[in-house]
Amino acid sequence: MNHAESMGVDLGDPSTFDPAPPHAHWARLRETSPITRARSSALDCDFWSLTGWKEIRALLSDNRTFVSHYGVFLGFGPHHPDPAGGRMLGVMDGEPHKALRDEVRSIFGARNIARFDTELDELFEEHMTPHLDGDAFDFADEIAWRAPLMVTCAIMGVPVGDSPMLRDLANGVLTMQESTGDPIADNSRASGARIQILSYFDELAASPAVRRGDNVTARLVSRHDAGRLPYQDLLLNLLSMLVAANETTRLAMSGAMVALAEQPEQLELLRRSPSLTGPAVEEVLRWTSPVLNDCRTAESDTVLAGMPIAAGDVVTAWLPAGNRDPAVFERPDTFDIARPSRANVTLGYGPHYCLGAALARIEIAALLRFLARHVGEVASAGRPTGTHSHSLWGYAHVPTRIASLTGAGR
């Protein structure tokens, strides 16, 4: 019997991550071996679990032995290939992946998105300042989505007025904000959201104003017009980029507010030392680690972490486990914004390293700047509610109170 089954933990069951990821389980697995064989009854699949930081990076850096086109979330694999495999950037391999990534890389680069710093500061000033009176509000529902969606829509050529509608749709594609308890109904709702987003991008791609701009949509349309990208693949990639660029950062910022409410000394430390904003961003990413798993399929027989992996085996990197590997992170179960390490694997590693990494960092930094400048205290106004997913984890609702640094909200 494998370790995961003997411990009675099904890592493919969303309820395993309620109310929090199973960090203690991952720690026990890692102490036994950084790689173990496991099975999910919920998903009816077998896979290898990676919980060690070093082993996770080894997996994600080797895109020749371990491929993505069968799917990168747990549940996909040769037994159940992702229908978007080979068509969408996240589930492509080799030269096609590199060519499509290179097409839009500069738009997502730090040099290009640095221009949003002022707009992000203004956004948090506008939407957070009214809450300094100390009244309770839901940070996740009212605030967390605004910064990532604003920047993402801008670089994709999406009109500002359409962002609230896309926010509601994007929230349901990868994570369920509130599960109905009926998997069929939940899947139907997620499928409906995907269809509506694809329909929206179908209209956007036809817009002359969008085509004339230098944005992600225009570049992919140009690639399609040149015969290098099928039209349906164009739409799939726009859907993927919209969702991916929003979900991780939204969940990370919500988790940051929970952490700061639980450890108020960290906000005081940030306020005294603004130079810690960069390390604080990295710690927020490490601590919240919204992407639960990143999977690859062995293209040929190989060995990983001393274990024989057969061609066709699915290997699952549990990113939150890697981010709490004590071999890399001292006191890994402590939220510490002064932590010097930038080695977290929250945004992946290797050829598929998150295209929107720079976006995530500037958006989280803007939130932290606002808190350091204006907020004397972050406090919980109720129990946070987690998302319902085995792929992403975070808070769908974060009842919060913030007090003005001047004491006006006290």
- If the chain, 410 residues long, is cut into consecutive pieces of 10 residues, what is the mean pLDDT of each piece? 57 94 96 95 96 97 97 96 96 97 94 95 97 96 94 92 82 56 62 87 93 94 96 95 88 98 97 96 98 97 97 98 97 96 93 95 98 97 93 95 74
CB 314 within 8 A of CB 45: yes
CB 74 within 8 A of CB 391: yes
CB 374 within 8 A of CB 354: no
Token pair 């975070």 in the structure block, residue: 394
Distance CA 169, CA 197 (A): 7
For residue 166, the model assigns a pLDDT of 85
For residue 3, the model assigns a pLDDT of 44
Distance CA 81, CA 68 (A): 10
**Partner residues linked to 66 by β-bridges:** 298
For residue 172, the model assigns a pLDDT of 65
Backbone angles phi, psi at 109, to 5 degrees: -70, 155
Q: What single-letter amino acid sits at 379?
A: A
For residue 179, the model assigns a pLDDT of 52
Distances (CA, A) of 320 to 254, 285, 289, 324, 392: 16, 10, 5, 7, 10
Q: Tokens standing for 287?
A: 């601590």
Apex 395 CA angle, 392 and 396, nearest 5:
100
Tell me the whole-structure pTM to 2 decimals.
0.93
Distance CA 307, CA 35 (A): 8
For residue 181, the model assigns a pLDDT of 58
Distance CA 387, CA 21 (A): 11
Q: What single-letter amino acid sits at 314?
A: V
CB 276 within 8 A of CB 41: no
**Partner residues linked to 47 by β-bridges:** 38
For residue 40, the model assigns a pLDDT of 96
**Partner residues linked to 319 by β-bridges:** none
Pick 1-92+294-345's CATH classification: 2.60.40.420, 1.10.8.50, 1.10.630.10, 2.60.120.10: 1.10.630.10
Query: Which has the closest alpha carbon to 237: 197, 209, 279?
Result: 197
For residue 410, the model assigns a pLDDT of 39
For residue 298, the model assigns a pLDDT of 98
Identify the helix (H) or strand (E) that includes residue 303: strand 302-304
Distances (CA, A) of 269 to 111, 336, 337, 368, 378: 29, 10, 8, 12, 13
The residue ranges of every structural domain in the chain are 1-92+294-345
CB neighbours of residue 273 within 10 Å: 14
